[in-house]
Amino acid sequence: MITAGDFRNGVTFEENGNVCQIVEFQHVKPGKGAAFVRAKVRNVITGGVVEKTYRPTDKFEKAHIDRKEMQYLYSDGELYYFMDQETYDQTPLSEDQLGDALKFVKENDFVTILTYKGNVFGVEPPTFVELRVSETEPGFKGDTSTGATKPATLETGATINVPLFVNIDDVIRVDTRTGEYMERV
């Protein structure tokens, strides 16, 4: 059992038959009245996010999410195939199950598959990935001091903003949580 007073980002619990994960939380102690916990809660099965208020003493059953590292193999247009490195079993997932988790993932990269009671509900890419810039406007000497950015298309097809000095065929590091450029490799 977990109480609302124990909420932290990423904690999963069961509420009214749904599996929920804390996206953001805030313990609030107003000047008058009892303390409460304000939280953004994501339903891990449907993906919907709602903001809820809980009493710190509210109790919930902790949900056990299984995380398994798997290798992304390929896509046949409709399904995306992942391979378990221990058993070599392949798991096909549809685009609905993935969302935009593969936006920064190339073939043969490793991802974490999230399951609850044997049902896959999500895929977590690595936190940082290194990708080649396949398309962007050319940069000009002296443009680096302005802090300006330009759009760049990566080898996976994702488009992000990069500094003006980044050119085609540069390899850059991207934070997959925010989709932001980190550095040139």
Segments making up each domain of the chain, as ranges: 2-62, 66-124, 128-184
pLDDT in tens, 59-73: 999 988 888 999 999
Query: Sheet of 66-75: strands edge to edge?
Result: 90-94, 79-84, 66-75, 110-116, 119-124
Same CATH topology for 2-62 and 128-184? no
pLDDT in tens, 112-140: 998 888 888 778 889 999 999 999 988 66
pLDDT in tens, 126-183: 999 999 999 998 866 665 566 788 899 999 999 999 988 888 999 999 998 888 999 9
User: Where residue 18 falls among pLDDT bands split at 50, 70, 90?
Assistant: confident
Given a contact cutoff of 8 angstroms between Cβ atoms, the answer to whether 10 and 27 are in contact is: no
pLDDT in tens, 101-114: 788 899 999 999 98
pLDDT in tens, 71-104: 999 988 889 999 998 999 999 988 877 777 788 8
pLDDT value, residue 138: 82
Name the β-bridge partners of 26. 38
Nearest to 69 by CA among 24, 125, 135, 136: 125
Could you tell me the fold of the domain covering 128-184? OB fold (Dihydrolipoamide Acetyltransferase, E2P) (2.40.50)
**CATH of span 2-62:** 2.30.30.30
User: Where residue 55 falls among pLDDT bands split at 50, 70, 90?
Assistant: very high
pLDDT value, residue 74: 92
Could you tell me the fold of the domain covering 66-124? OB fold (Dihydrolipoamide Acetyltransferase, E2P) (2.40.50)
